[in-house]
Chain A
């Protein structure tokens, strides 16, 4: 992936915010593991659904109310983890969180998530950018809401 300019990053965020393809509640919820992520410091409140079979994420969607940063980052992440193994998904999430916290990270695997590389400039938004990632890793690590 070529290095993203600021305009490209902005476009990625806006597109996944205005038309998030993965923002929906699954028709058949029984197949999915779900977790509700409501931030303690803001109004973001989303439920993430993962359909995991034999360690492979078959489907990932989310639904609820969230700001542009939470919505777009969660939408991109859902797209990226589909078809990946739990281990691969966790690696992406780890690299993504490293980026948000200004630690060394593997830029190659982050694809469109690189759009959030400037989040540190608005430190209060790191939580928004992490909400979906934390939910996905919680489900993979065995947490689940009824």
Chain B
């Protein structure tokens, strides 16, 4: 296991909650992750030292901003083994997926075409495709999940046809936490001429990603879930696809020239997709976050996640009042309920014990028909969680049936 006590010293938030009068156990990392001081400092350095807009290279500080932005882009590329010009900065995974749906989907899909999703997808990987379907007449179909709720290459084979144009799936799903074999999915999809859009919001923070090996056509993730700032994210796209697709937003910074007759020459990707002033402080912070994760090691992070997951499952299984929905998840996501207690009531109770978890449908509303429950508690760990956090959770869940204690103690 990683040296969590040492790691926590890098995160000011732990120090700031030392005197809450109750434990401070953060287990909602699938929603967002805390920021180490180096990331906060990198964001501040934009405001404190550089301050200028990008693409204004006539003076030193502006030139420096451009350099930093391109340095950060190259860093992101290296982080997922892409080429620098294949990295588009966005506001986050939702914007990245919308950019593919609107820039590629609406331009190239038509009636009779099929889009394949799964029931386990996050709303951000479902609703943009609903829009594409509405606007183009393309049909949405779902890859069946296996008994445990996994999306498998075998099941993709069962539903894919020559009409399938897009397969859009999460590499790690946000409720069940299974790791999907994107490489195998890409191989099948490409055989049928479909592109693969990979939602890496839950995977990029936790596992090493190599887009060349996965051979997916697009891949999206957010900065804030991997210790970076909010409001910055990434869309990776194979360069020929980025060249073909339309910008979703147009304006300053994405064109070379235009005239009064409406002729526009857009810049090459990625600039074509980055109209308007970017989240520059966010780009500085993202760069620092990647450096920080690399200093710990993505393989080490994944190992820590799995070890903590296995420990948590072994302890939770001893609790007769707890139902676990994804015992065999390949990540730090555990979805559970306390028997007879509405998920939100349980989450409030855990809050009163200093434990932060998420309750609800976790933006995967299609999944509720499968799990046959209206809501669940989602526990999600990161590399700054340790076995002690799990022990605190397990002890609280033991008494989880007394959820009204949250109000009266």
A residues engaging B (CB < 8 A)? Answer: 6-7, 9-10, 13-14, 42-44, 65-69, 118-119, 121-122, 124-125, 128
Cα separation A68 to B340 with both chains bound (whole Å): 11
Is there an interface contact between A122 and B352, defined as CB atoms closer than 8 Å? yes
Query: What per-residue 1/0 map shows which CB atoms of B337-351 lie under 8 Å from chain A?
Result: 000001111001001
Check: B360 CB closer than 8 A to any chain A CB.
Answer: yes
The residue that B407 contacts in the complex, of A42, A43, A65, A121, with Cβ under 8 A, is A121
Cα separation A6 to B404 with both chains bound (whole Å): 10
- Residue in B343, B344, B403, B406 whose Cβ sees the most chain A Cβ within 10 Å: B344
Is there an interface contact between A43 and B408, defined as CB atoms closer than 8 Å? no
Is there an interface contact between B345 and A43, defined as CB atoms closer than 8 Å? no
Is there an interface contact between B407 and A118, defined as CB atoms closer than 8 Å? yes
Is there an interface contact between A122 and B374, defined as CB atoms closer than 8 Å? no
Check: B307 CB closer than 8 A to any chain A CB.
Answer: no
* Shortest CB distance A55–B (Å): 35
Instruction: Please name the residue on chain B nearest to A41 by beta carbon.
Output: B360
Q: Which of B336-375 contact A (CB under 8 A)?
A: 342-345, 348, 351-352, 359-361, 374-375
Q: Which of B368-390 contact A (CB under 8 A)?
A: 374-375
- Residue in A13, A65, A67, A124 whose Cβ sees the most chain B Cβ within 10 Å: A67
Cα separation A10 to B404 with both chains bound (whole Å): 7
Question: Given A43-B360, A43-B374: A10 and B408 within 8 A (CB)?
Answer: yes
Is there an interface contact between B375 and A13, defined as CB atoms closer than 8 Å? no
Instruction: Please name the residue on chain A nearest to B407 by beta carbon.
Output: A118
- A121 proximity list for chain B (CB < 8 A): 352, 406-407
Size category of the binding interface on chain B: 10 to 19
Q: Which of B168-200 contact A (CB under 8 A)?
A: none
Among all A-B residue pairs, the 8 with the closest Cβ atoms: A6-B408, A67-B344, A43-B375, A67-B342, A68-B345, A118-B407, A43-B360, A65-B374
- A10 proximity list for chain B (CB < 8 A): 404, 407-408
- A42 proximity list for chain B (CB < 8 A): 344, 359-360, 375
- A67 proximity list for chain B (CB < 8 A): 342-345
Is there an interface contact between A68 and B359, defined as CB atoms closer than 8 Å? no
Is there an interface contact between A9 and B352, defined as CB atoms closer than 8 Å? no
Cα separation A34 to B345 with both chains bound (whole Å): 26
How many contacts between A and B, using CB within 8 angstroms?
Answer: 49
Is there an interface contact between A125 and B348, defined as CB atoms closer than 8 Å? yes
Question: Given A13-B404, A122-B406: A43 and B344 within 8 A (CB)?
Answer: yes
* Shortest CB distance B93–A (Å): 20
- A9 proximity list for chain B (CB < 8 A): 407-408
* Shortest CB distance A65–B (Å): 5
Cα separation A39 to B408 with both chains bound (whole Å): 24
- B359 proximity list for chain A (CB < 8 A): 42-43
Instruction: Please name the residue on chain B nearest to A9 by beta carbon.
Output: B408
Is there an interface contact between B344 and A128, defined as CB atoms closer than 8 Å? yes
The residue that A122 contacts in the complex, of B342, B348, B360, with Cβ under 8 A, is B348
* Shortest CB distance B358–A (Å): 10
Cα separation A42 to B361 with both chains bound (whole Å): 8
Task: Given contacts A6-B408, A13-B404, A42-B360, list 7 more A-B pairs with CB under 8 A.
Answer: A7-B408, A43-B374, A67-B343, A67-B344, A68-B342, A69-B345, A122-B351
- Residue in A65, A68, A122, A128 whose Cβ sees the most chain B Cβ within 10 Å: A68
Cα separation A125 to B407 with both chains bound (whole Å): 10
Cα separation A14 to B374 with both chains bound (whole Å): 20
- A124 proximity list for chain B (CB < 8 A): 348, 351
Instruction: Please name the residue on chain A nearest to B340 by beta carbon.
Output: A18
Is there an interface contact between A68 and B352, defined as CB atoms closer than 8 Å? no
- A125 proximity list for chain B (CB < 8 A): 348
Cα separation A119 to B403 with both chains bound (whole Å): 13
The residue that A68 contacts in the complex, of B361, B403, B408, with Cβ under 8 A, is B403
Query: What per-residue 1/0 map shows which CB atoms of B85-105 lie under 8 Å from chain A?
Result: 000000000000000000000
Is there an interface contact between A43 and B404, defined as CB atoms closer than 8 Å? no
Q: Which of B118-144 contact A (CB under 8 A)?
A: none
* Shortest CB distance B309–A (Å): 25
Instruction: Please name the residue on chain A nearest to B376 by beta carbon.
Output: A43
* Shortest CB distance B224–A (Å): 18
- B404 proximity list for chain A (CB < 8 A): 10, 13-14, 68
13 A-B pairs (CB sep. < 8 Å): A6-B408, A9-B407, A10-B404, A13-B407, A42-B360, A43-B374, A65-B374, A68-B403, A68-B404, A118-B408, A122-B352, A125-B348, A128-B344
